[in-house]
Amino acid sequence: MKKLLALVFIFIFAFVLVACGDDTSDVNDNGTTTPENDNETMQMPGGNDEMQGGHNERMPLEIIESGYGFATWAGDPALTYGIVLYNPNNEAVEFPSYRITVRREDNTIIGTNDQILIIVYPGQSLSLAGITMFEVDPDEFYSVEFESLDPDDWNWTSGEFVAFETVNTNLSNNTVTGEVLNHNDRDFDGLRVDMMIRDSNGQIVGGDNTFIRDGISANGTTPFQMDIRDSIIENIDGEWEVGVYASPW
């Protein structure tokens, strides 16, 4: 009986080997199988010709310009700054973020903070300004670092946007007024307005921001007003100028 079972198993094993020998596909060194039909294409995991080309080809957001000065926040010394954040990709990024880190001369950290935004569209440059919410003593200050943080996979999205335009701007008694124009065919629930201050050499020396909670209608206009803090101006040597920028919020 045992000999009979052994013969049966040998017969089945030989049959399987013959069946496998009829497969004319080639197996590459890396273990992948090449179809015998040259006209047949293989679908690679995660591939999509209509997208940018996959996560590995997405480029990090870039901080292409930055600068800072000193001010006060809630009565304490602080850093006032401005950066320009650029998205070189053909996809939008929701909730992009950047980090501010201020150090002493011995490289110890005075303070650090992450700032989260709403969205940066493909090819868009966001001009952003603000004041650190942690105390920065000018006598302790040595350096500041601005770092764009890498988005997660879920941050990437589609979307197109025509940049807002600021018009009729006016500076009077250290108050900036103007209007934001929306050239898009859709409403936006809120706006962020950033005021960038530059010295006579064009260097960013500070800035601030405000929010328009009522939003802006499609192809509409909304006014804004911002006061420049005395503590910012007092720390600027020579002449200065203001640029105003608006973005969705």
Q: What pLDDT score does 167 carry?
A: 97
Residue 87 in tokens: 């998205």
Q: How far apart are the first and last CA of the chain?
A: 82
Total residues belonging to the chain? 249
Distance CA 204, CA 35 (A): 59
Q: Is 54 left (phi over 0), alpha (psi -120 to 50) or beta?
A: left
Q: What pLDDT score does 100 carry?
A: 98
Mean pLDDT over 17-23 rounds to 43
Within-domain flag for 173: yes
Q: What pLDDT score does 33 carry?
A: 36
Give every CB contact of residue 184 below 8 A, 6+ residues apart in sequence.
161, 162, 218, 219
What is the radius of gyration, based on Cα positions, of the chain? Answer: 29
What percent of the chain shows pLDDT beyond 70? Answer: 78
Q: Does the pLDDT value for residue 208 go beyond 50? A: yes
pLDDT in tens, 53-66: 444 489 999 999 99
What percent of the chain shows pLDDT beyond 90? Answer: 76
Distance CA 44, CA 100 (A): 40
Within-domain flag for 33: no
What pTM did the predictor assign?
A: 0.76
Within-domain flag for 133: yes
Within-domain flag for 1: no
- Answer whether 205's CB lies under 8 Å from 69's CB: yes
Within-domain flag for 96: yes
Q: Does the pLDDT value for residue 139 go beyond 70? A: yes
What's the total number of domains in the chain? 1
State how far Cα 70 lies from the chain centre.
Answer: 26
Nearest to 211 by CA among 220, 219, 222, 221: 222
Q: Does the pLDDT value for residue 42 go beyond 70? A: no
Within-domain flag for 183: yes
Q: Does the pLDDT value for residue 199 go beyond 80? A: yes
Mean pLDDT over 236-245 rounds to 95
Q: Which of 7-21, 75-89, 182-196, 216-230 has the lowest mean pLDDT?
A: 7-21
Within-domain flag for 39: no
Host domain of residue 224: 59-248
Nearest to 161 by CA among 67, 42, 248, 31: 248
Amino acid at 178: G
Within-domain flag for 98: yes
Burial (0-12, 13-18, 19+ Cβ within 10 Å), 91: middle
Q: What φ, ψ does residue 55 adopt, rounded to 5°?
A: -60, -35
Beta-bridge partners for 144: 102
